[in-house]
Amino acid sequence: MTTRPNQLDGPTYRVTLGDGSRMYVTINEHNGKPFEVFARYDDADKYEWLGALTTMITRLLRAGQPLEQIGKELLEIHGPESSHMIPGTREMAPSIVARIGRVFVNHPKNFNSNHEVAA
């Protein structure tokens, strides 16, 4: 397990969900690799599991697991109450967790660009 440096940098991606609410996903990097993730979503019912999920993902990253592979696994998570159409697309998101996975999969393609991320 790598000790966290005092300062890390990384993008925060805004994700608009099907109901118009927003979630923010931050991916901080260390030595050019994803090192930790955070997610914020203003729904008290989801706060606990979202914190647990991002803590476990951070542990996986620090153990050397690739962010893109973690993202691909999250894309397979389906939720009967959280599936939704991705705003501005014709694409269906099977869950909020899958939307986080989509951010992770797209991160390497978007990190050093000035373009809006398809999250």
Please write the tens of the pLDDT for every residue from 27-66: 999 998 999 999 999 888 888 999 999 999 999 999 999 9
Q: What is the pLDDT of residues 7-33, one digit of tens each?
A: 999 999 999 998 899 999 999 999 989
Choice between 43 and 110, residue whose per-residue pLDDT is larger: 43
Domain ranges of the chain: 12-110
Distance linking the first and last C-alpha atoms of the chain? 29
Q: Is 60 exceeded by the pLDDT of residue 89?
A: yes
Residue 2 scores a pLDDT above 90? no
pTM, full prediction:
0.87
Token pair, residue 63, equals 């153990």
pLDDT higher than threshold 50 for residue 105: yes
- Scanning the chain, the segments in alpha helix (DSSP H) are 44-62, 67-74, 96-110
Residue 112 Cα distances to 17, 46, 83, angstroms:
24, 30, 30
CB burial of residue 20 (10 Å; 0-12, 13-18, 19+): exposed
